[in-house]
């Protein structure tokens, strides 16, 4: 196992990951953020260098971490050989198995390996799967300009909006999530539509893997085209900064799937997989 500390090697890795799209997109987004200031204090682990067969991005070991915060304790995975990923995951220096954490990736094998290794570590795994999308070319995005209510303005999210986002996110509703969302707002691009009181009515923000997440419109403002405006504006903003405009959607969320198709989003053949790992000794504490 090697930790890539060299900026030269990290820039090399970013370019190498481009050769393995779309499966490498999650790791690629994390490495891009590392190479552009590293606001979430991540680092990269590989099985070997430069001919790596598996790569994991993880929180820096010297960072102060909350062992119960799976939002921030997030890892992205890409492998060329499944056995190499398994061996990297089994290495006791790769993952902190004593905390609650998540692994994200776009390859089915990560589920099998995570569950196999987690069992030996006495860790429970909950898996979620989503359809993965990318806006490959900003020029293909439709023009969604329309006559918007003059009381509304297009802006960026503010940290003060984190509580509203926390209340409306299916993964939220707790202080750790609110802290995580506030950090995302501070560090990464976002777009929202504000009412005349400065409160967001529709929004989307970017996470630590350069992924568009938590796109949401308040119920009373739906079916007015705001989601389309927010999504296209954020996608163009990400493209202008050199990031891939990627996102994910629940298969059963029919309105969102239809909206994304109308925006010429490309639905990728690989699914986005998120696995929450929770050590057995935490399972008796359902509030965690």
- The tens digit of pLDDT for each residue in 188-200 reads 999 999 999 999 9
Q: What pLDDT band is residue 286 in, cutting at 50, 70 and 90?
A: low
Q: What pLDDT band is residue 282 in, cutting at 50, 70 and 90?
A: confident
- Say what the pLDDT of residue 148 is: 76
Asked whether the predicted pLDDT for residue 207 surpasses 80, the reply is: yes
Q: What's the gap between Cα 47 and its chain centre?
A: 23
d(CA 168, CA 157): 15
Asked whether the predicted pLDDT for residue 287 surpasses 60, the reply is: no
Pick the CATH number of 2-131+273-282 from 3.40.50.2300, 3.90.226.10, 3.40.920.10, 3.40.630.30: 3.40.630.30
Nearest to 43 by CA among 22, 21, 65: 65
3-state secondary structure the chain: CEEECCHHHHHHHHHHHHCCCCCCHHHHHHHHHHHCCCCCCEEEEECCCCCCCEEEEEECCCCCCCCCCCCCCEEEEEECCHHHHHHHHHCCCCCCCCCCEEEEECCCHHHHHHHHHHHHCCEEEEEEEEEEEEECCHHHCCCCCCCCCCCCEEECCCHHHHHHHHHHCCCCCCHHHHHHHHHHHHHCCEEEEECCCCCEEEEEEECCCCEEEEEEECHHHCCCCHHHHHHHHHHHHHHHCCCCEEEEECCCCHHHHHHHHHCCCEEEEEEEEEEEEEEHHHCCCCCC
**Do 2-131+273-282 and 138-264 show the same overall fold?**
yes
Q: What is the mean pLDDT of residues 236-251?
A: 91
d(CA 127, CA 247): 18
Q: How many residues does the chain have?
A: 288
- The tens digit of pLDDT for each residue in 131-155 reads 999 987 777 787 777 677 888 999 9
- Say what the pLDDT of residue 69 is: 93
Determine the topology of domain 138-264 in CATH. Answer: Aminopeptidase (3.40.630)
d(CA 285, CA 219): 33
Q: What is the mean pLDDT of residues 192-213?
A: 95
- Say what the pLDDT of residue 140 is: 78
Domain ranges of the chain: 2-131+273-282, 138-264
């Amino acid at each position: 196992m090697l930790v890539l500390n060299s900026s030269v090697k990290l820039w090399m890795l970013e370019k190498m990951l481009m050769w393995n799209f779309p499966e490498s997109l999650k790791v690629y987004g994390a490495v891009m953020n590392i190479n552009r200031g590293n606001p979430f204090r991540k680092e990269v682990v590989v099985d070997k260098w430069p001919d790596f067969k598996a790569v994991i991005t993880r929180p820096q070991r010297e960072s102060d971490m909350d062992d119960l915060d799976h939002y921030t304790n997030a890892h992205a995975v890409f492998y060329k050989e499944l056995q190499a990923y398994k061996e990297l995951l089994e290495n006791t220096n790769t993952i902190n198995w004593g905390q609650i954490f998540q692994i994200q990736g776009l390859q089915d094998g990560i589920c099998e390996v995570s569950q196999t290794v987690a069992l030996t570590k006495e860790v429970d795994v909950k898996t979620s799967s989503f359809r993965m999308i990318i806006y490959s070319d900003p020029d293909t995005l439709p023009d969604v300009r329309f006559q918007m209510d003059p009381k509304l303005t297009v802006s960026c999210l503010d940290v003060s909006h984190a509580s509203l986002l926390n209340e409306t996110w299916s993964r939220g509703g707790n202080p750790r999530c609110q802290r995580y969302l506030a950090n995302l707002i501070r560090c990464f691009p976002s777009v929202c539509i504000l009412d005349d009181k400065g409160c967001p009515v529709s929004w989307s923000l970017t996470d630590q893997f350069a992924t568009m997440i938590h796109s949401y419109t308040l119920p009373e403002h739906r079916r007015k085209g705001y989601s389309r405006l927010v999504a296209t504006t954020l996608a163009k903003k990400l493209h202008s900064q050199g990031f891939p405009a990627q996102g994910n959607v629940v298969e059963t969320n029919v309105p969102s799937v239809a909206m994304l198709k109308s925006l010429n989003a490309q639905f990728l053949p690989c699914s986005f997989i998120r696995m929450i790992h929770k050590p057995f000794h935490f399972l008796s504490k359902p509030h965690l």
